[in-house]
């Protein structure tokens, strides 16, 4: 959160007022020089001169006295929510490429540089056993190759996509159609909490914003905007998932679809997308190849298994596929038990080693192979 803090609260304040989006923020910045000046000194005449229409001017004049900026910032802090504006260098680059990008993002969790390599996975709330199986298999394969999964936390395909990514120890981003202090559906509260540990919850709506039907189609443009491409697993002909796919096309993103039973109502949308030119997907490699991500995925995987420190490099030389006790590792590496123990714990989290019981460790086969290739 690198936007100047005393300016940030004015972004938050204006975001609470209805009718202020990307264009209005830009108009106020251009006219007043800063949002602080707009908030502190702007009157009806000023806002009209800045280019705001009459309903928006009225909303600002009526709403501003009822908003305590300090209380709003304290509420964000209490809920563990960060704020990014489109002026912030940490704002997702890919999202800023779309025409109607959100001027402000509320984030709970962490957006990482590797999230640039994202694929959105969307579909019906009324999934079939086939849809669940396909989503789980493809998302698991993508997540294992360090592709971030983006979805909308809805029941059905969305929920399976998030859970499958987390189960594969991958990253996932969930985009809300309400404030981040309101989890919708409510029975996804545990899932939302888990996502914050391996990704982020994202919304353009301020805290306290309740979910409304018209918010979800706008939410979908963020799902597709964050991603390189959108995979639709199962969807009706005029479903939200198909809307997301159409938004993806408008944003110059790739669209993928899983073929389905021609007799199934939840396959009408996906089969129609394929007829209209969406890439037919039968496995994760279809997505990686279409997006030219095969080499990128391999490089991202390698970053996870190549030693990151000198201590990790030393320990790699004293580990093999045969179990070795931590005391023997300490003696061979000539390192203290606390150093070896903490480093092995980190290496285990990264998938480089495994503990096989009684403080015996083995080197994972994948890590050993990547390490050998790197050295050669």
pLDDT digits (tens, 9 = 90+) for 126-163: 999 999 999 999 999 999 999 999 999 999 999 999 99
Q: Which two tokens stand for residue 63?
A: 């709403």
CB 248 within 8 A of CB 242: no
Report pTM: 0.78
Instruction: Tell me which H or E stretch contains 175.
Output: strand 172-175
Nearest residue to 204 via CA among 5, 52, 47, 22 = 22
Dihedral sign, Cα of residue 253, residue 246, residue 154, residue 174 = positive
Residue 313 — pLDDT band, cuts 50, 70, 90? confident
CB 242 within 8 A of CB 230: no
HSE value, Cβ hemisphere, 13 Å, CA-based, for 10: 18
Residues 6+ apart with CB under 8 A from 78: none
HSE value, Cβ hemisphere, 13 Å, CA-based, for 34: 11
CA gap 219, 178 in Å, rounded:
9
Residue 232 DSSP symbol: E
Residue 356 — pLDDT band, cuts 50, 70, 90? confident
Fold of 306-375: Arc Repressor Mutant, subunit A (1.10.10)
Strand partners, 361: 324, 355
Helices (H), 294-355: 294-305, 310-317, 326-333, 337-349
CB 108 within 8 A of CB 200: yes
pLDDT of the residue at 58: 96
CA gap 238, 60 in Å, rounded:
36
- HEC sequence for 243-305: HHHHHHHHCCCEEEECCCCCCCHHHHHHHHHHHCCCEECCCHHHHHHHCCCHHHHHHHHHHHH
Is the bond preceding 351 in cis, omega lying within 30 degrees of 0?
Answer: no
Q: Look at residue 3 and tell me whether its pLDDT is greater than 60.
A: no
Reported as a single tens digit per residue, the pLDDT across 44-79 is 999 999 999 999 999 999 999 999 999 999 999 999
| 180 vs 363: which has the higher pLDDT | 180
Choose the weakest-confidence range: 80-84, 218-222, 247-251, 365-369.
365-369
Residue 369 — pLDDT band, cuts 50, 70, 90? very low
The total number of residues written for the chain in this structure: 376
Reported as a single tens digit per residue, the pLDDT across 253-266 is 999 999 999 999 99
> Across 176-236, where does the E strand assignment appear?
199-203, 229-232
Dihedral sign, Cα of residue 184, residue 187, residue 193, residue 198 = negative
Where does 110-299 sit in CATH, by number?
A: 3.40.50.450
């Amino acid at each position: 959160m690198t936007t100047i803090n005393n300016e940030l609260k004015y972004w938050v304040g204006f975001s609470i007022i209805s009718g202020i989006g990307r264009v209005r923020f830009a108009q106020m910045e251009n006219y007043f020089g800063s949002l602080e000046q707009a908030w502190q000194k702007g009157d009806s005449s000023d806002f009209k001169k800045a280019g705001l229409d009459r309903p928006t001017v009225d909303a600002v004049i009526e709403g501003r006295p009822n908003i305590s900026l300090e209380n709003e910032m304290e509420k964000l802090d209490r809920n563990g929510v960060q704020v990014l504006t489109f002026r912030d260098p940490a704002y997702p680059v890919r999202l800023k490429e779309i025409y109607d990008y959100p001027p402000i993002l509320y984030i709970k969790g962490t957006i990482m540089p590797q999230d640039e390599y994202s694929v959105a996975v969307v579909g019906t709330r009324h999934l079939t056993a086939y849809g669940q199986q396909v989503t789980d298999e493809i998302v698991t394969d993508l997540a294992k190759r360090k592709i971030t999964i983006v979805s909308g936390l809805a029941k059905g395909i969305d929920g399976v996509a998030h859970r499958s990514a987390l189960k594969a120890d991958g990253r996932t981003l969930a985009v809300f159609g309400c404030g981040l202090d309101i989890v919708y559906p409510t029975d996804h509260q545990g899932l939302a909490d888990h996502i914050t540990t391996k990704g982020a919850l994202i919304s353009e709506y301020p805290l306290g914003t309740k979910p409304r039907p018209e918010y979800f189609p706008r939410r979908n443009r963020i799902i597709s905007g964050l991603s390189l491409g959108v995979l639709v697993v199962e969807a009706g002909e005029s479903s939200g998932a198909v809307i997301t796919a159409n938004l993806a096309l408008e944003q110059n993103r790739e669209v993928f679809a899983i073929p389905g039973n021609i007799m199934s109502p939840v396959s009408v949308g996906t089969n129609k997308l394929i007829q209209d030119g969406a890439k037919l997907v039968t496995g994760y490699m279809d997505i990686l190849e279409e997006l030219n991500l095969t080499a990128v995925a391999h490089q991202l995987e390698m970053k996870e298994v190549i030693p990151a420190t000198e201590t990790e490099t030393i320990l790699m030389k004293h580990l093999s596929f045969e179990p070795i006790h931590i005391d023997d590792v300490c003696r061979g590496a000539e390192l203290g038990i606390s150093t070896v123990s903490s480093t092995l714990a980190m290496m285990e989290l990264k998938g480089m080693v495994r503990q096989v019981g009684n403080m015996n460790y083995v080197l994972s086969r994948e890590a050993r192979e990547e390490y050998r290739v790197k050295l050669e």
